[in-house]
């Protein structure tokens, strides 16, 4: 008899018999379900793991990411009818404006503004003029060292005028169809250089200062010295403004600006600008008033020239119809010495009166209706009617 097959399967048979006749206590021990304590402990472990994972996810979601770019856009379309000689009635495409803001770190940030403006001479000339001008209005990097000290470099809207430094190029931002006439070539709109900013004095006064040095006006006074200054004399500016807690909505400020102007024909002028503003920055009512005084010393002739301009704007948001309606008025006045060679071609109405109505058709779009009357010495007065739709996106 061959014993090999028997020995080969003997182990298997013994294991099978052991399983069949094993004690019930051993089988029960092997099949015993986990206790309540074990289940509770396991549940607690799972809850802790889930909580930790959720906490890490929340931290990751709220932790700032750098750079973090945000883009806001503005646009408008206007219609105008006027009795001014040579001007046509019709629609006009307004500026298309983009604002770019980005945090680069907890203390470093960037801001940029680009405008696209239609040209009246589009399609003419050699080479042919394009349909639109693209302008880098602002290009600023800022380093925050705290509330008392911040330093920024780049191309700014010169902060010697409240309107110029507040509303910029998005016309949806301000109540009226257009900005006051004095904000243009009369005062320097742009400033290329560095500006310091911070808070000073008692907290209750909310005093803020700005001080800067940079390139002054270009040979064309409406431009900044973007490609380089026209001389070695740097422009400087400083201002201080206050928003006292006791009068919430009130802002008062004083500004000074100094530069040496060099015109295209080589004539040189020392320029000093002093400005002041008084603002009641609320909707009921809104009151904006500014005044600027410019003094020019002609270095070639030795003559001095003085110029003034101011405006006063008032508006009130009516409480009816979901507060969509906001009537407004503005009066502007300028006194320009036309004997000043620096301002001999300046286009600025002596007197301008406007009245209008802003209708906020949504939180991001407004319709404006406006009447204007302009008066200048020696020419007929000009009457105009305008309508505009402005929006942000």
267, pLDDT greater than 60: yes
Cβ atoms of residues 303 and 271 within 8 Å: no
Whether the full predicted model's pTM is greater than 0.85, yes or no, is no
**Dihedral of alpha carbons 119, 121, 126, 128, sign:** positive
45-71 residue pLDDT tens: 777 777 777 766 766 667 788 999 999
Q: Determine the pLDDT at residue 26.
A: 45
Using CA atoms, how far apart are residues 294 and 298, in angstroms rounded to an integer?
Answer: 13
pLDDT at 219: 85
User: How confident is the model at residue 192, as a pLDDT?
Assistant: 96
Q: How far is 122 from 327, CA to CA, in rounded Å?
A: 36
- Write down the pLDDT at residue 5: 53
Three-point CA angle 68, 74, 80, nearest 5°: 170
In angstroms, rounded to a whole number, what is the distance separating the alpha carbons of residues 134 and 116?
5
The radius of gyration of the chain's CA atoms, rounded to the nearest angstrom, is 36
Q: Where are the domains positioned within the chain?
A: 63-392
CATH 3.40.980.10 fits 63-392, yes or no: no
> b or e along 162-184 (b: 16 or more beta carbons within 10 Å of the residue's beta carbon)?
bbbbbbbbbbbebbbbbbbbbbb
Long-range contacts of 318-326 (CB under 8 A, 24+ apart): 319/284, 323/283, 323/360, 324/359, 324/360, 324/361, 325/357, 325/358, 325/359, 326/175, 326/283, 326/357, 326/358, 326/359, 326/360
DSSP bridge partners of 111: 101, 140
pLDDT of 37 over the 80 cut: no
Cα–Cα dist 283/325, whole Å: 11
Model confidence band, residue 34 (pLDDT cutoffs 50, 70, 90): low
């Amino acid at each position: 008899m061959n014993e090999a097959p028997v020995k080969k399967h003997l182990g298997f048979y013994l294991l099978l018999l052991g399983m069949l006749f094993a004690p019930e206590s051993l089988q029960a021990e092997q099949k015993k379900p986990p206790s309540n304590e074990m289940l509770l402990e396991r549940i607690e472990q799972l809850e802790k793991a889930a909580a930790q994972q959720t906490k890490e996810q929340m931290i990751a979601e709220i932790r700032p990411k750098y750079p973090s770019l945000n883009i806001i856009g503005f646009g408008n379309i206007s219609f105008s009818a006027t009795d001014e000689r040579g001007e046509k009635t019709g629609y006009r495409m307004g500026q298309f404006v983009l604002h770019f803001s980005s945090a680069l770190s907890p203390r470093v940030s960037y801001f940029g503004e680009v405008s696209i403006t239609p040209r009246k001479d589009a399609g003419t000339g050699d080479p042919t003029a394009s349909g639109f001008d693209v302008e880098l209005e602002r290009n600023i990097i800022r380093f925050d060292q705290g509330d008392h000290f911040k330093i920024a470099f780049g191309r700014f809207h010169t902060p010697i005028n409240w309107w110029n430094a507040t509303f910029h190029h998005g016309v949806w931002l301000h109540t009226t169809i257009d900005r006051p006439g004095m904000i243009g070539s009369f005062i320097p709109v742009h400033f290329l250089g560095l500006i310091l900013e911070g808070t000073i004095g008692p907290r209750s006064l909310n005093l803020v200062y700005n001080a800067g040095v940079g390139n002054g006006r270009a040979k064309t006074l409406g431009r900044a010295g973007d490609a380089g200054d026209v001389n070695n004399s740097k422009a400087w500016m400083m201002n201080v403004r206050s928003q006292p807690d006791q009068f919430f909505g009130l802002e008062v400020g004083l500004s000074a600006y100094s530069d040496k102007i060099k015109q295209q024909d080589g004539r040189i002028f020392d320029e000093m600008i002093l400005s002041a503003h008084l603002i009641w920055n609320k909707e009921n009512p809104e009151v904006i008033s500014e005044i600027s005084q410019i003094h020019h010393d002609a270095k070639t002739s030795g003559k001095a020239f003085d110029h003034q301009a101011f405006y006063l704007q008032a508006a009130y948001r009516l409480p009816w119809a979901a507060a969509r309606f906001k009537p407004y008025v503005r009066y502007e006045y300028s006194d320009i010495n036309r004997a000043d060679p620096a301002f001999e071609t300046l286009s600025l109405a002596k007197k301008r009166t406007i009245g209008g109505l802003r209708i906020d058709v949504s939180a991001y779009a407004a319709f404006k209706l406006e009447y204007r009357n302009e008066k200048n010495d020696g020419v007929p007065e000009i009457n105009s009617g305008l309508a505009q739709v402005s929006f942000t996106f």
